[in-house]
Amino acid sequence: PTWDAFAYIIRQLFLVKTVMLSKSIKSLGAGADVLLNDLSFNPDIRVVDMTAEQFIEVAEIFDEWPHRPSTLLLTDIDSFE
């Protein structure tokens, strides 16, 4: 996956780290729950319990998803102060 995609999914999923991936994947974008169909592991796992390999797999699938959000980076850090 691209670094941008990986950083985006980490940032988004860790906002809801105690929620199951099967529920929290919706935070990646509208319709992102379709990505669950391509996972090789059971998505009924809390985000905080996911392995690095599982995050990479989610990022790879997300990176290839044609409907992923076009903007993945935080461009204006000052707006969060």
Q: Please report, for the domain that includes residue 62, its CATH number.
A: 1.10.8.100
SS3 44: coil
**Structural domain of residue 63, as residue ranges?**
3-67
Number of domains within the chain: 1
In the block, tokens 């780290």 appear at 17
Domain-located, residue 7: yes
pLDDT in tens, 23-65: 999 999 999 999 999 999 999 999 999 999 999 999 999 999 9
Of residues 60, 77, 57, 71, the one with CA closest to residue 29:
71
Q: What is the pLDDT of residue 74?
A: 56
Strands (DSSP E) contained in the chain are none
pLDDT for 49 equals 98
Q: Is residue 56 part of a domain?
A: yes
pLDDT of residue 76 exceeding 70: no
81 has a pLDDT exceeding 90:
no
